[in-house]
């Protein structure tokens, strides 16, 4: 039988020393040491800029008629709960609501196939406002997050936990969800409708 090669543990990569004759003179110069920081120096910190429509987490662009961005699973869950989307939104907010649906969400519903044909029919309803997408790809969650960060005039309607978690990091965006066979809303300013339970 032949010898087996065993792997050496904690073996270091071989490096050429600075005194080696193969290294040129200009490369031999040691790297300059960085300056020590002065503790009395004023520290500059970059703070993220928030839109002017936000005033202490209070979004001034929200107001009736509410524009509500609808996610795929929100439509599916409202069908399961036997809720009319537009009527239930109006019952929740006590004002006129315009459900908006992006091209990415429509593409996602169409990809789901025949099982979700009722959801597709609801999404093609004339009461839904259609929002065109200019970006590439059809991942609806990224599309909705991007649209909500650019324009603070939307309420996002979703049941997806991961998407809710992402939206909660963006200040001034209310989230509509389904619980106990009715629509509820979170992070909505107190002056507006939205019953608190």
DSSP-based three-state secondary structure for 67: strand
Q: Give the gyration radius of the chain's Cα atoms.
A: 28
Q: How far apart are CA 182 and CA 195, in angstroms?
A: 11
For the cut 70, the answer to whether the pLDDT of residue 56 exceeds it is: no
For the cut 90, the answer to whether the pLDDT of residue 34 exceeds it is: no
DSSP-based three-state secondary structure for 125: coil
| Residue 120, phi then psi, degrees to nearest 5 | -65, -40
Can you name the CATH fold of 61-186? Rossmann fold (3.40.50)
What pTM did the predictor assign?
Answer: 0.70
Nearest Cα to Cα of residue 175 among 53, 69, 34, 26 = 69
Q: At what angle do helices 140-150 and 161-168 cross, to 10 degrees?
A: 20
pLDDT in tens, 70-111: 999 999 999 999 999 999 999 999 899 999 999 999 999 999
pLDDT in tens, 163-188: 999 999 988 899 999 999 999 998 88
């Amino acid at each position: 039988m032949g010898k087996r090669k065993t792997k050496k543990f904690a073996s270091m990569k071989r490096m050429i020393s600075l005194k080696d004759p193969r290294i040129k003179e200009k490369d031999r110069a040691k790297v300059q040491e960085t300056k020590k920081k002065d503790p009395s120096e004023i520290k500059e910190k970059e703070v993220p800029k928030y839109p002017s429509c936000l005033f202490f987490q209070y979004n001034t662009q929200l107001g009736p008629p509410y524009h509500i961005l609808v996610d795929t699973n929100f439509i599916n869950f409202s069908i399961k709960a036997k809720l009319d989307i537009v009527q239930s939104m109006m019952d929740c907010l006590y004002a006129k609501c315009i459900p908006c649906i992006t091209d990415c969400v429509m593409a996602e519903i169409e990809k789901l196939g025949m099982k979700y044909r009722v959801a597709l029919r609801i999404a093609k309803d004339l009461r839904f406002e259609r929002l065109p997408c200019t970006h590439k790809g059809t991942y609806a969650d990224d599309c909705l997050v991007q649209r909500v960060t650019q324009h603070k005039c939307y309420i996002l309607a979703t049941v997806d936990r991961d998407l809710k978690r992402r939206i909660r990091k963006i200040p001034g965006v209310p989230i509509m969800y389904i619980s106990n066979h009715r629509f509820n809303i979170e992070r909505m300013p107190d002056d507006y409708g939205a019953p608190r339970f």
